[in-house]
Structure 1
Amino acid sequence: MSGTGISTPDLTDDHAGARALELQWRNFGGIAAFGGAAVTVKCFEDNSLVKSLVQEPGEGRVIVVDGGGSLRRALLGDMLGADAVKNGWAGLVIRGAVRDVDELATMALGVKALGCCPRKTDKRGEGQQDVPVSIGGVIISPGDYVYADNNGVIASPEPLL
């Protein structure tokens, strides 16, 4: 789900099981507050799996990418962002970098990342999908629920809205 009905402070106040990802996130998308069921990716400086995922039906889900925290290569840019919008993804949470930030900011897509970098990744076909990822002290499993706004990113094994 995306939209202004998401407040991570309110969700953490109301749900003891909500876990905050303890990182300083930056908002790069045109939608600041978003949430949905997680599809997880673990990759390092290779966005091959992200590229294939955004071309699938998103059904309001959120792609959670553990990019190892690297700011040397961007795991998302304007072309993949446009595919994500077209295919109905609510957003992406990326422990890593993005690029084409001016274009991403105009898209109806939530994008939280650690930073930006102009360099694209190599496409080596590496990484794992639908595996538990550990981001900011929180383990996120496929199908967990992720919510994000300008206050941060939280996760829960159950829907909070």
Structure 2
Amino acid sequence: MCFKTTDLYDQYLETVQVAAPLFRDYGGRRRFSGQIVTLKAFEDNTYLKAAFETDGRGKVLVVDSGGSLRCAMMGDVMASLAAEHGWEGVIIHGCIRDSVDVAKVDIGVKALATTPRKTVKRGQGTSGIPLAFADVTFRPGEYLYADEDGIVIASVALL
């Protein structure tokens, strides 16, 4: 994948959104992009697993877990599941776990932090809605570009 978020910003300036620098890289890919799929789920990863069981080719899952640092929304098993189904990456407004093993999986993963505690499965969540965090709005169907320098969001494909 040949792009740099800095170059995309320089070329498109204020026609793109730039996420606040809240996220750390955890996945085996540092650079990834795709069409946005959204999920809002607070401290419950039931719907996250279900999303990763679908075809994710050309897509990035954006998960709003309310910025919770109390439990991890995904670990190495889910990262592997996502990679098996072709997901380009995942952005989690929350935590992950198993970070050493997640780093070995060929998928982009950005999250706030790590914690060993897993979620409770209550079967709660909402998908396909706009999500607002990190000073931007992630809309389903828009395009996300992520690398070591950050996250850029565009309403149309830039590449």
Shorter-chain TM band:
over 0.9
Q: Distance in 1 between matches of 2:153 and 2:24?
A: 17
Name the structure 2 match of 1:126: 124
Amino acid at match of 2:29: I
Name the structure 2 match of 1:15: 12
Name the structure 1 match of 2:35: 37
Query: RMSD of the TM alignment (CA)?
Result: 0.9
Q: 1:109 aligns with which of 107, 110, 113?
A: 107
| Alignment size in residue pairs | 158
Paired residues of 2:61 and 2:91 also in contact (CA < 8 A):
yes
Q: Which runs of 4+ in 1 moved over 2 A?
A: none
Question: Can you give the 5+ residue segments of structure 2 that lack an aligned partner in the other structure?
Answer: none
Amino acid at match of 1:6: F
The alpha-carbon deviation at position 48 of structure 1 amounts to: 1.0
The alpha-carbon deviation at position 23 of structure 1 amounts to: 3.2
Between 17-26 and 46-55, the greater mean CA deviation after superposition? 17-26
Matches of residues 5-154 of structure 1 in structure 2 within 5 Å?
A: 5-16=2-13, 17-154=15-152
The alpha-carbon deviation at position 25 of structure 1 amounts to: 1.3
The alpha-carbon deviation at position 32 of structure 1 amounts to: 0.1
Paired residues of 1:28 and 1:111 also in contact (CA < 8 A):
yes
What do the CA deviations read for 1:70-121 (whole angstroms, capped 9, x no partner)?
Answer: 1111011111101001000000011110001001101110000111111110
Amino acid at match of 1:48: T
Question: Can you give the 5+ residue segments of structure 1 that lack an aligned partner in the other structure?
Answer: none
Between 73-82 and 17-26, the greater mean CA deviation after superposition? 17-26
Name the structure 2 match of 1:158: 156
Scaled by the length of structure 1, what TM-score is found? 0.95
Paired residues of 1:57 and 1:88 also in contact (CA < 8 A):
yes
